[in-house]
A = this chain, B = another copy of it.
Amino acid sequence: MNNRLKVLRAERNWSQAELAERLDVSRQAVNAIETGKHDPSLPLAFRIARLFALSIEEIFDDGHR
């Protein structure tokens, strides 16, 4: 699952730790998602989308067009 987390974070000058705090997850969880080690749960995907005021589909991409 590809995602635009790193760029969205860079646009706001947030560290992974800052983003993690805003999402109420661990810094490692943010890192793992950014580096593609695993996908967020659906509830977390919702929190991410809401934080950036975007739809889940605008942030995450599972390929299958």
A-side residues, CB < 8 A to B, are: 1, 39-43, 45-47, 49-50, 55-57, 60, 62, 64-65
Q: List 6 A-B contacts (CB under 8 A).
A: A1-B43, A39-B43, A46-B64, A49-B57, A55-B55, A56-B57
Task: Report how many copies the assembly holds.
Answer: 2
Partner of A50, one of B46, B47, B56, B64: B64
- Distance in angstroms between the alpha carbons of A1 and B64 in the assembled complex: 24
Please indicate the chain B residues that have their CB under 8 angstroms from the CB of A65 in the complex: 50
10 interchain residue pairs of minimum CB distance: A46-B62, A39-B42, A56-B56, A42-B45, A42-B42, A43-B62, A55-B57, A40-B42, A55-B55, A39-B43
